[in-house]
Amino acid sequence: MAMVDVEIEGGGIFGLSVAFACARRGAHVRLHERRRIGAGASGGVVGALAPHAPDAWNEKKQFQLESLAMAPAFWAQVAELSGLDPGYARLGRLMPLATERAVALARGRIAEAERNWRGIARWSVVDTAAPWKLDSPTGYHVSETLSARLHPRAALKALAAAARALGAEIEEGATRPVGRGRAVVEATGWEGLVALGQETGVEVGSGVKGQAALLRADFRRRPQLFVDGLHIVPHADGTTAIGSTSERSFAHPDATDAALDELLERARRICPELASVPVIGRWAGVRPRAATRAPLLGPHPRENGRFIANGGFKIGFGVAPLVGEVMADLVLEGRAERIPDAFRTERLFAG
């Protein structure tokens, strides 16, 4: 078989984004996914590409902002190359404000958003949730225009097809043969974090289970909602996603249970328009959460030619366009200057 420049283990959003970025630069890429594309946390249903609050600015928020700003062009190119719709749209987000203190805090963030988001998007406090029928105890809501959505499964399918269109080889149901690539990128999700910790004796990270549901409710042109930790995300295909739980302890990583039923009840109380719509899908999976609480990007601590791209946790799809680019910088050109210090593998394994 022909020698490849880059081998990638893992067919989730990080693995596919790295494959796409490397293939765009002309590298011969082969990706191995031992189950199927999107078998892990990336194959969920929620797809909220939402920023952190615009105050207390740091390099993680800056990286996220840059990636969210890249997203329209990124997903448009993916759609063009693949001929498939990833379901991307930047329609913003509404967040009800429950207390007067929350209103004051939100108003204080208007100037921070102007400063830190640099005109890319707007953060404002409004007195209507239209077009949603949504109650707020104070009568006020945050409206911000940076958030976007996509359908994770459609996005992964499109991204895999786009990478193939650029010449990348993608193998499902396959493990990596040894020594075929010049560089190996491990994008292996929560199981990879656990395995890396066992290999190195360092607490690298773990998995946090999430459960979500898909409803037949067509609100496709509305902004997404974020209410008390709950995402309500309308999709382009006429469905609406509800998610998700955060479970540190779990016995069955892929099983839904009463926790999802409780989540659905909350969503229907929050948004009465969802009260009578049918549930058409239930999903559970485990998201990779690095010990640093940030994505983990960089060289493997013990073996030259191996690299890590993991730990997307709740922001994986939002940061993926830029993750792919900075990993391509590192793997193909040996440059790491665009990887934030907080994300670097060297920081976790120092000492």
324 and 197 in one domain? yes
73 part of a folded domain: no
Closest by alpha carbon to 159, among 17, 42, 41? 17
Per the structure, how many domains does the chain have? 2
191 and 248 in one domain? no
260 and 174 in one domain? no
Distant-in-sequence, close-in-space partners of 265: CB < 8 Å, separation ≥ 6: none
309 part of a folded domain: yes
224 and 285 in one domain? yes
| CATH number of the CATH domain containing 340 | 3.50.50.60
CB 217 within 8 A of CB 234: yes
Q: Cα–Cα distance between 129 and 227 in angstroms, integer? A: 12
Backbone CA torsion sign across 96, 97, 103, 109: negative
133 and 219 in one domain? yes
119 part of a folded domain: yes
138 and 171 in one domain? no
335 and 271 in one domain? no
Closest by alpha carbon to 32, among 183, 150, 165, 188? 188
66 part of a folded domain: no
Predicted pLDDT of residue 1: 47
195 part of a folded domain: yes
| CATH number of the CATH domain containing 272 | 3.30.9.10
Predicted pLDDT of residue 124: 98
Residue-number span of the structural domain to which 160 is assigned = 4-49+153-204+291-349
Predicted pLDDT of residue 177: 57
Predicted pLDDT of residue 218: 98
Closest by alpha carbon to 10, among 158, 168, 192? 192
258 and 125 in one domain? yes
Can you tell me which residue has the tokens 């759609």?
79
339 and 232 in one domain? no
335 part of a folded domain: yes
pTM for this predicted structure: 0.96
161 part of a folded domain: yes
130 and 14 in one domain? no
Last residue in a domain, options 240, 259, 290: 290
Per-residue pLDDT of the chain (351 residues; tens, 9 = 90+): 457 899 999 999 999 999 999 999 999 999 999 999 999 999 999 999 999 999 999 999 999 999 999 999 999 999 999 999 999 999 999 999 999 999 999 999 999 999 999 999 999 999 999 999 998 999 999 999 999 999 999 999 999 999 999 999 999 997 765 555 689 999 999 999 999 999 999 999 999 999 999 999 999 999 999 998 999 999 999 999 999 999 999 999 999 999 999 999 999 999 999 999 999 999 999 999 999 999 999 999 988 999 999 999 999 999 999 999 999 999 999 999 999 999 999 988 875
312 and 298 in one domain? yes
Last residue in a domain, options 246, 264, 290: 290
Last residue in a domain, options 290, 317, 333: 290
222 and 279 in one domain? yes
CB 26 within 8 A of CB 351: no
281 part of a folded domain: yes
Predicted pLDDT of residue 266: 95
